[in-house]
Chains A and B, each alone.
Chain A
Amino acid sequence: MPAAPGYRQRQVLMDNDRLRRTLQRIAHEIVERHSDQAGTVLVGIRSRGVPLARRLASMIRDAVGVAPPVGALDITLYRDDLRMSASQPTLRGTDIPVSIDERTVILVDDVLFTGRSVRGALDELIDFGRPARIELAVVVDRGHRELPIRADYVGGVVSTAREDIVQVLIEEEDGQDAVVIIKPHDALGELSSHATRAVNEKARKPSSPRAAARRRR
């Protein structure tokens, strides 16, 4: 994938295998918390949240024999920066296959950044019904929140500078699986090693139920 102009330094934070294990761990945490998959629905935030939600659903099926239903949320119509974006938005559509009333909805997204997409997703979900509970699963939490939003399931925490770009690449959308950070040309060195260290520490920790519980707190 070519980097945007001015963003030259690309570094892999998670490779194919690491991303798979990360999703596996999130799937297990979901199963730990929700024994009844019939009361759960995974809703991916377009675009990359959707294939991620599908993968989590199939991993949950491998673990407990039943896959939760998977939906897709296109939050374009709910964005708070629509009037500020210079380019015309593209719609890909929302598809919630089951009633979300009284179910636990687990929102799935690739990167948690300002929290504004999640805000839009929450607003849109509420227009579809009254879920018993809404949780959030993300592959990467890169900080810089602008709203009081946190994730319930986090694949990895990465320290970033605001102008960095963190991308979760998905086979279905991008032709490969990886998490990469793209840094402005002049900001390499110190920041990039910082980010790598953060992810490595996270990955070294064994994923015990106790560790998962600690993360949730």
Chain B
Amino acid sequence: MTRFSGRHLLGIEPLEPADISALLDTAETLREVLTRPIKKVPTLRGKTIVNLFYEASTRTRSSFEMAEKALSADTLSISMATASVQKGETLLDTARNIEAMQPDMIVMRHSSSGAPHFLSRNCRSAVVNAGDGAHEHPTQALLDAFTLRQKRGRLQGLRVAIIGDLLHSRVMRSNLWLLKKMKADVILCGPPTLVPPGIESLAPCTFRIDEAIEGADAVMMLRIQLERMSGGFFPSLREYHQRFGLTEARMKRAKNNVLIMHPGPINRGVEIASEVADGPYSVILDQVTNGVAVRMAVLFLLLGGSEVAS
């Protein structure tokens, strides 16, 4: 097994393929811990991890918390929607105050791209990006890759279609970096108004969903992020579903045993039809299960045995 070289996990873009393999292999081993009668190991005993969430999150935050608890770390979750940021505190001041309590790691979600990078430059603690603006969501891409590898045994050569709101999606960006580094073939698809300019220099991009699904090993649907949309990107949700929604009829163009993925939360009847989300090809809940093991791997590789090395 190869080694993971970083001190923080800020994104997939700076990682080497060997780092990604190390993370996925470690997650594979740690998954076993979650099947034990006592689902807890003492590895991170005495380490303190602060989960600093500036944006709403259910899945990611609870997944990080479960991973932290399974490794016996002490955890503190702060939801900034209800905290002192409302009273006008700056990110740097919040970070300095949390740092003064000497945590070993800060897991951060923020609506601004680059916020965790800023934190990592101003803190001693290890920083894990749990989603920053429209930039990256590295643990989501890792758990997606883990699920693909679990179901298909490899990443190399898989044809993966990523469909939906490409413009606002940090999940797409992290997945795009990861899949390209691991030599999978990615095809992107979304309405012209939701395709970020220049993205075609990274992967082929189409406006026709049927073309994207054709021959796909896996289809990753992205959530329509209405909360991030300030203008009219498409006429109506119903029209969006007709043009870009994943339906049973459309799935027939993909490979026989196609994997249907979604980072959640899903908008039923918008980007994905209920029959597909709940259907036999959907691995959406496997993604959630795998998220805990993948996050355990991130915590373990960043905090386990790194005190002297760093």
Asked if A and B are interacting partners, one says yes
* Alpha-carbon separation in the docked complex, A129 to B25 (Å): 27
Determine which of A76, A77, A88, A93 lies in contact with B306 in the assembled complex, contact meaning CB atoms within 8 Å: A88
Q: Which residues of B contact A93 (CB under 8 A)?
A: 28-29, 32
Q: A87 near B305 (CB under 8 angstroms)?
A: yes
* Alpha-carbon separation in the docked complex, A93 to B35 (Å): 12
Whether A82 is near chain B, meaning CB under 8 Å from some CB there, is: yes
Q: B29 near A74 (CB under 8 angstroms)?
A: yes
Whether A90 is near chain B, meaning CB under 8 Å from some CB there, is: yes
Q: A128 near B306 (CB under 8 angstroms)?
A: no
* Alpha-carbon separation in the docked complex, A129 to B82 (Å): 42
Q: Which residues of A contact B30 (CB under 8 A)?
A: 91
Q: A83 near B307 (CB under 8 angstroms)?
A: yes
- Tell which of B36-44, B159-167, B184-192, B250-258 binds the partner: B36-44
Q: Which residue of B lies closest to A83 (CB)?
A: B307
Determine which of B29, B301, B306 lies in contact with A92 in the assembled complex, contact meaning CB atoms within 8 Å: B29
The smallest beta-carbon distance between A121 and chain B, in angstroms, is 13
Determine which of B28, B37, B43, B301 lies in contact with A88 in the assembled complex, contact meaning CB atoms within 8 Å: B301
Whether B273 is near chain A, meaning CB under 8 Å from some CB there, is: no
* Alpha-carbon separation in the docked complex, A87 to B308 (Å): 9
The proximity string for B residues 222-265 relative to A, scoring 1 for CB distances below 8 Å and 0 otherwise, is 00000000000000000000000000000000000000000000
Q: Which residue of B lies closest to A85 (CB)?
A: B305
Q: B41 near A82 (CB under 8 angstroms)?
A: no
Q: Which interface residue of B36, B43, B300, B305 has the most chain A CB atoms within 10 A?
A: B305
Q: Which residues of B contact A83 (CB under 8 A)?
A: 304-305, 307-308
The proximity string for A residues 118-156 relative to B, scoring 1 for CB distances below 8 Å and 0 otherwise, is 000001100111000000000000000000000000000
The smallest beta-carbon distance between B144 and chain A, in angstroms, is 21
Q: Do most interface residues of chain A lie in helix, strand or loop, or is the interface mixed? A: loop
The smallest beta-carbon distance between B15 and chain A, in angstroms, is 15
Q: Which of B3-50 contact A (CB under 8 A)?
A: 3-4, 25-26, 28-30, 32-33, 36-38, 40-43
* Alpha-carbon separation in the docked complex, A86 to B26 (Å): 18
Q: A128 near B304 (CB under 8 angstroms)?
A: no
Whether A211 is near chain B, meaning CB under 8 Å from some CB there, is: no
Whether B100 is near chain A, meaning CB under 8 Å from some CB there, is: no
Q: A127 near B305 (CB under 8 angstroms)?
A: no
Whether B1 is near chain A, meaning CB under 8 Å from some CB there, is: yes
* Alpha-carbon separation in the docked complex, A74 to B300 (Å): 15
Q: B307 near A84 (CB under 8 angstroms)?
A: yes
Whether B101 is near chain A, meaning CB under 8 Å from some CB there, is: no
Determine which of A86, A87, A90, A128 lies in contact with B37 in the assembled complex, contact meaning CB atoms within 8 Å: A128
The smallest beta-carbon distance between A199 and chain B, in angstroms, is 34
* Alpha-carbon separation in the docked complex, A21 to B306 (Å): 42
Q: B305 near A88 (CB under 8 angstroms)?
A: yes
Q: A88 near B41 (CB under 8 angstroms)?
A: no
Whether A7 is near chain B, meaning CB under 8 Å from some CB there, is: no
Q: A91 near B29 (CB under 8 angstroms)?
A: yes
Q: A87 near B309 (CB under 8 angstroms)?
A: yes
Whether A89 is near chain B, meaning CB under 8 Å from some CB there, is: yes
Q: A88 near B29 (CB under 8 angstroms)?
A: no
Whether A94 is near chain B, meaning CB under 8 Å from some CB there, is: yes
The smallest beta-carbon distance between A30 and chain B, in angstroms, is 26
* Alpha-carbon separation in the docked complex, A133 to B163 (Å): 56
The smallest beta-carbon distance between B99 and chain A, in angstroms, is 20
Q: Which residue of A lies closest to B302 (CB)?
A: A88
Q: A88 near B308 (CB under 8 angstroms)?
A: no
Q: Which residues of B contact A124 (CB under 8 A)?
A: 41
Q: Which residues of A contact B26 (CB under 8 A)?
A: 91
Knowing that A74-B29, A86-B308, A87-B305 touch, tell me 5 more A-B residue pairs with CB under 8 angstroms: A86-B309, A92-B1, A127-B36, A127-B37, A128-B37
Residues of A within 8 A of B (CB): 74, 76-78, 82-95, 123-124, 127-129
Task: Report 15 cross-chain contacts, Cβ distance below 8 Å, ordered by A residue.
Answer: A74-B29, A78-B42, A83-B304, A83-B308, A84-B305, A86-B308, A87-B305, A87-B309, A88-B305, A89-B304, A92-B29, A94-B32, A95-B32, A123-B42, A128-B38
